[in-house]
Amino acid sequence: MKLSFPMAPQQTVTPPAAPAPPDPPGLPTSAPAARAQLIHIEVDRRLGHEWDEWNGRPLPKGGDFSAPPRLFFGYAALTVATVSGVVALLLYLIGPRLGRLWGPLPQALWIALAAVAALQWLYLGVLAAAFYSRRNLLPERLLERGPYLQLMNYTSLIARAFGRRDWVEHAAIDVYNTLAERRGRRVGKGELLVLIPRCLSKQALDGVLEIAGRYEVPVFVATRGQLARRVIRERRPRAVVAVACERDMMTGLRDVAGKLPVLGLTMQLPNGPCRDATIDLGQMERWVQGLVAAAPARGHTTQ
C-alpha cells in the first residue's frame, strides 16, 4: 500500500550527461568516475527553520559543534533528574486533593513515580555501558531505534535552557551513530538511500555525487522538511545515510530512525546556517561502503 500526502508537485532534475563510448575489449577502463543521479524535490515545509532566530553573527568555531559523548550523557542525566523532580513536585502539590478522591491514590502514585524513575536511571546506565564497552547490550528496538530517540529529544530541550543545544545534539547524534554502525548492517546498492540538504557547498555536493555514483546509490536533495518520509515511502530503502545540521538531524532521526536504519552525518557551517555547508566526505564514503554489500574495488574519496 502506498501512502500519499498533500504537498507541492514533485520536481525532478536529472543532470545532463553524454554517454561515454565503451572501451575496447581487453583495455583497462580509463573513463572518469560515474556521478550519481541527483533528484531535487520540493515539498511544503522548508529545512532550516530551526535557525530562524539566528542573528547573522559568525557561529562558534566556524559552525563546528563537535563535542565529546560525555556531554550528552551528562545532560541526559540532568534531563532524567529534572523530569523526575518536576513530576515529584507536581505530585506533592496535588497529592492531598487526590487523597480525598481515594485515600491510597497518592501513595500508589509515589510508588509508580519511584519505579519509573528507577527504570529511567537503569536505562541510562545500560546505554552508557553499551556505548563505552563497545558492545550493544540491547536490541536496536530497545536502544538506538527505540527509547533513545525520545531521550535525545528531551535532552535537547534541557540543553537549550543552558545555551548548549547544538553541542549536546552533536554528541547525541555521535552516540546514536556509534550504536547503529556496530550493527554491521549490509544492504544492496539499490536498497540504500542518501539524503542531503540543499545548503551544501559545491565542493561537498560534488564529493557526495562522486561517492554515490561510485557505489551506484541514488542521492536526493531536500529543500523542504517532509522529504525523508515522502521519499522513503516511495523508494522503500532498507537503510539511509542522511546529511543535515544537528538541529534538522534531530528532527529527521525522530521521524525516520524508528522505522528503518539511519546513519546521520552532521555538517560544519563556516558561513552560518543554510549556506555552503561542508561535511566529512571520508566518513560518508566509509558508511556507504560499509552498508553496500558489493563495494567496487576503487580508490577512496578523501575529505
Cell of residue 207, nine digits: 564529493
**Which run of H or E residues covers position 233?**
helix 227-235
**Contact in structure between 167 and 72 (CB atoms under 8 Å):** no
Match 547573522 to its residue by C-alpha cell: 56
Residue 192's H or E segment, with its range, is: strand 192-197
Q: pLDDT tens across 70-110, in order? A: 999 999 999 999 999 999 999 999 999 998 889 899 999 99
For the stretch 272-303, pLDDT in tens is 887 899 999 999 999 999 999 755 544 445 44
Give yes or no for a contact between 268 and 277, defined as CB atoms under 8 angstroms apart.
yes
What DSSP assignment string belongs to 149-182? HHHHHHHHHHHHHTT-HHHHHHHHHHHHHHHHHT
Tell me the pLDDT of the chain averaged across its residues: 83
In angstroms, rounded to a whole number, what is the distance separating the alpha carbons of residues 152 and 144? 10
- pLDDT tens-digit profile of 47-69? 455 555 665 677 888 899 999 99
- Integer angstrom CA distances of residue 42 from 14, 45, 120: 14, 9, 40
What pTM did the predictor assign?
A: 0.79
Distance (Å, whole) CA 93 – CA 273: 44
From CA 183, how far away is CA 163, in angstroms rounded? 33
Q: Are 227 and 251 in contact (CB under 8 A)?
A: no
Cα–Cα distance measured from residue 197 to residue 169, given in angstroms and rounded to the nearest whole number: 18
Check if the beta carbon of residue 168 is closer than 8 Å to that of residue 266: no
Distances (CA, A) of 286 to 219, 237, 238, 263, 300: 16, 19, 18, 11, 9
